């Protein structure tokens, strides 16, 4: 049975402002979920709650692995920020080496050079200071950590938006290759990207999550229908 992330009756409010109300939803391993919602709908807040950056007001997130069910902790979650914060004074190689040395649980299956190759970062780039990395390279470096640590849940907050077409394609292929071992959820405003990459589209609208039927994805007026759903 695939691993499941079960949200059970999750509510979140900031002061008087309700962001989600009694959200229950199940995400499964092996699928890429695209999370769509208007500005301020609460996509980042949902990710922050799942990664324990901020507490939920009520409800719980559970990880179901066959017979075992347990609450999700921040160790289960790899969070790819749209603008990753990395030690700029190290080279990419030094950073990964340091990461491996300080994370005893990390059991690398490949050499550092191989990990860089998997992320299509060249040997020359490995030995450059992170300070000089482009946005896309920083995201790749952050993703590389998840190839090592293999968190069951990977959340990507508006990634790929500022990537050039080649890097975007590389990242898409990487996510497709990784999806069998993870539950992958990414938020985006780009409908084309969502339909292209995702196995399921999830709308976050008026404090609730709902799936968009797969048949809708292939209808000619798909975009119009999504806009209508988000406007209601
Ligand atoms: N720490 C906080 N304290 C109070 N209000 C907050 C806090 N964080 C987020 N909010 C509010 O919660 C709402 C949801 O914000 P969030 O950033 O999750 O939306 P989003 O869907 O990611 O938006 P966008 O698409 O614009 O990135 C917004 O109204 C925001 O102002």
pLDDT tens by residue, 129-174: 999 998 888 988 998 998 888 899 999 988 766 677 887 788 888 8
Closest CA to 202 of 17, 72, 59, 20: 20
Angle at which helix 135-149 crosses helix 165-178, to 10 degrees, equals 10
In the reported structure, the alpha carbon of residue 151 is separated from the centroid of ligand 1 by a whole-number distance in angstroms of: 25
Which residue range forms the structural domain that includes residue 8?
A: 4-82+151-231
Residue 170 is predicted with a pLDDT of 83
User: CB of 80 within 8 A of CB of 155?
Assistant: yes
Entry pTM: 0.89
In a domain, 137, yes or no: no
Residue 219 has a pLDDT of: 78
Task: Evaluate whether residue 140 is within a structural domain.
Answer: no
Poorest-pLDDT segment among 18-27, 152-161, 205-214, 217-226: 217-226
Q: Is 126 in the pocket of ligand 1 (CB under 6 A)?
A: no
Report the C-alpha gap between 208 and 175 in whole angstroms.
26
Q: What is the DSSP letter of 104?
A: T
**Cβ 12 under 6 angstroms from ligand 1:** no
Q: Are the C-beta atoms of residues 28 and 64 closer than 8 Å to each other?
A: no
Q: Would residue 178 count as lying in a domain?
A: yes
Kindly give the residue spans of alpha helices, DSSP state H, lying in the chain. 43-50, 92-102, 112-118, 123-126, 135-149, 165-178, 191-197, 214-217, 222-231
| Distances from the Cα of 212 to the Cα of 21, 44, 74, angstroms | 19, 20, 28
* 19 Cβ closer than 6 Å to some ligand 1 atom: yes
Report if residue 219 sits inside a domain: yes
Q: Do the domain assignments include residue 129?
A: no
DSSP state of 129: B
Domain assignment of residue 101, yes or no = no
Q: Which long-range contacts (CB under 8 A, 24 or more apart) does 100-105 make?
A: 100/148, 103/148, 103/149, 105/149
Average pLDDT over residues 37-48: 92
Ligand 1 pocket: which of 14, 81, 155 to mutate (most atoms <8 Å of CB)?
A: 14
Task: With respect to residue 192, please indicate whether it lies within any of the assigned structural domains.
Answer: yes
| Of the candidate ranges 41-50, 102-111, 135-144, the one whose mean pLDDT is the lowest | 102-111
Q: What is the distance between the alpha carbons of residues 78 and 141, in angstroms, rounded to a whole number?
A: 13
CA of 43 to the centre of ligand 1 (A): 8
| Contact by Cβ (8 Å): 209, 201 | no
Query: What's residue 162's pLDDT?
Result: 66
The ligand 1 atom at the shortest distance from the C-alpha of residue 42 is: 18
Q: Report the pLDDT value the prediction gives residue 48, as an integer from 0 to 100.
A: 93
pLDDT value of residue 161:
67
Beta strands 77-80; 153-157: pairing state: parallel
Q: Are 156 and 186 in contact (CB under 8 A)?
A: yes
pLDDT of 214 higher than 90: no
Which residue did the predictor score with more confidence, 16 or 91? 91
Distance 208 CA to ligand 1 centre (A): 15
Overall domain count for the chain: 1
Domain assignment present for residue 87? The answer is: no
Domain containing residue 18: CATH number:
3.40.50.300
């Amino acid at each position: 049975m695939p691993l499941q992330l079960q949200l059970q009756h999750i509510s979140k409010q900031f002061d008087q402002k309700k962001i989600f109300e009694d959200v229950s939803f199940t995400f499964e391993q092996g699928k890429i979920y695209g999370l769509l919602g208007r500005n301020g709908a609460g996509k980042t807040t949902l990710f922050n709650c799942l990664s324990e950056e901020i507490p939920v007001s009520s409800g719980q997130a559970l990880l179901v692995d066959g017979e075992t069910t347990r609450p999700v902790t921040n160790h289960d979650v790899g969070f790819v920020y749209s603008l990753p914060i990395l030690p700029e004074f190290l080279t990419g190689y030094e950073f990964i080496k340091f990461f491996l040395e300080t994370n005893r649980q990390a059991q690398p299956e490949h050499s550092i050079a191989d990990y860089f190759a998997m992320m299509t970062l060249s040997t020359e780039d490995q030995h450059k200071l992170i300070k000089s990395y482009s946005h896309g390279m920083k995201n790749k470096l952050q993703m590389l950590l998840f190839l090592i640590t293999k968190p069951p849940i990977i959340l990507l907050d508006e990634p790929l938006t500022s990537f050039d077409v080649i890097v975007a394609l590389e990242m898409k292929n990487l996510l497709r290759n990784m999806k069998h071992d993870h539950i992958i959820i990414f938020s985006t405003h780009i409908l084309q990207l969502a339909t292209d990459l995702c196995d399921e589209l999830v709308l976050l609208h008026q404090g609730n999550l709902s799936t968009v039927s797969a048949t809708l994805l292939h209808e000619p007026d798909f975009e119009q229908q999504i806009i209508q759903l988000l406007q209601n």
